[in-house]
Amino acid sequence: MSTLQPALQKERNHFLDAWRGFAITGVLLAYIMWNLGNLPEEKWNGVDKWIAKLTGILVDGKFYTTLSILFGMGFYLQLERSRRNQLSIVPVALRRIFLLLVIGTLHAIFLRRGDILVPYAVCSLYLFFARNAGNKTLIVLMILCLLFPSFYYQFIRWAGYKNSPWEKDSGSYLHYMWVAFKNFHNPVYFFVGNLDYFMLFLFGFYAAKNNWLQKLSSRPKTLLVIFAAGAAMGVALFFVMDNAYDWLTVWFGPYDKMNFTQKMLTNYTGSLCYLLHRAFLAIAYFSGLYFLFLRNYKMTTFANMGRMALSNYMMQSLIMVPVCFVFGLFDKFTPTRALAWSAGIWIVQAILCTWWLKRYNFGPFEWLLRSFTYWKWQPMKSKE
């Protein structure tokens, strides 16, 4: 019986690879900047404070947003390939989701607080069930994903639910990671809290379904307008988000004195501003990169990193966690130090990806994921 096979290298979209590589670069900076522990701000110098402010505006959350959109686009392209070949995507998609969940769980427990593979696996399952939705249904689902979480959180607080107290830190790395894993994946919050990722998956799916890339490829001036508008709106919304809570407490009074409706409005304002701030800047980055790509800037280094995005993502923590143990860097990062380490790791990854892909078809984790997904060992060496 015929089964769905992976896309050949010549069938890959070079721009999507470059866009993915650009996103994984931002994820690297965010990981070292905020995930490994920082010195107290009073020990930062003036440069540290400027770097922290700029990365807060331009980096924090924007590249996970980008990867989520790309994930949705990639799923649609895979779905279309299965339809063209009149083959079922069901076993392929479910095996891929399962292995992402396994890798992500191990990664989150042992290496990376705030791992995204587990949420992505769950949201992939949501998207799998929405794969046959029409455009109007996709739009409705996106709106529900935007509106429901704030209502849900406010409702469970109103109903009397309280968070479990944080466990005392025993000083053990594995205990700390396990506690963080349980808190991040508390089912009361987890399945609803990641609906913003699902909304971005749906947005990417919708964009690919409606062929936005091809439509924009003949409109470079439109891309520049989108870039300028997205950047301006994204930065403006950062400052609105930064001050919205204070403005609303002046208007309504202290948060604990607000009624249910006022609390809902306050929560929606903050979450909506943060989501739109991330989305506008992610779209600005996309339009700027696509404009350059259409002007024959092929961004080969980013494309190579994008072809190995999962391996690069895993490599970030596989390198940095041992380094932090050896050199005692946990909780010692300043923004300047984080930027320097990010640049160093990026250079290593860029060189390694270029070297690796001259010899092999896939990164090691991509090879494992593809082999399991398609239930067949994939040819690793480029001449196989």
The string of pLDDT tens digits covering residues 77-132 is 999 999 988 888 999 999 999 999 999 999 999 999 889 999 999 999 999 999 99
List the structure tokens of 63: 């590249």
**Residue 236: pLDDT over 60:** yes
**Residue 349: pLDDT over 90:** yes
Query: Is 120 within a domain?
Result: yes
**Residue 1: pLDDT over 50:** no
| Contact assessment for residue 27 and residue 64, using Cβ atoms and an 8 Å cutoff | yes
Query: Is 381 within a domain?
Result: no
Query: Is 89 within a domain?
Result: yes
In DSSP terms, which residues pair with 38 in a beta bridge?
A: 333
Residue 223 CA neighbour count, 13 Å, CB half? 20
pLDDT digits (tens, 9 = 90+) for 40-69: 999 999 999 999 999 999 999 999 999 999
Query: Is 102 within a domain?
Result: yes
Query: Is 35 within a domain?
Result: yes
Between CA 338 and CA 24 the distance in angstroms is 16
List the structure tokens of 172: 């053990």
Nearest residue to 66 (alpha-carbon basis) of 250, 253, 232, 285: 285
Residue 379 Ramachandran class (φ > 0 left, ψ -120 to 50 alpha, else beta): beta
Kindly indicate the confidence band of residue 170, based on its pLDDT and cuts at 50, 70 and 90.
low
List the structure tokens of 274: 């943060």
Query: Is 256 within a domain?
Result: yes
Structural domain range at position 16 = 9-160+177-373
Kindly indicate the confidence band of residue 383, based on its pLDDT and cuts at 50, 70 and 90.
low
Tokens 């992505």 belong to residue: 120
Q: How many domains does the chain contain in total?
A: 1
Side chain identity, residue 105: T
Query: Is 3 within a domain?
Result: no
Q: List all residues 6 or more positions away from 327 whose beta carbon is below 8 Å from its beta carbon.
A: none
Cα–Cα distances in Å, from 291 out to 22, 295, 329, 335?
Answer: 14, 6, 39, 31
Between CA 201 and CA 196 the distance in angstroms is 9
Q: Please tell me the pTM assigned to this model.
A: 0.93
| Contact assessment for residue 358 and residue 332, using Cβ atoms and an 8 Å cutoff | no
State mean pLDDT over 219-227. 96
Query: Is 172 within a domain?
Result: no
pLDDT at residue 200 in the model = 96
Task: Name the average pLDDT for the chain.
Answer: 92
Between CA 225 and CA 266 the distance in angstroms is 32
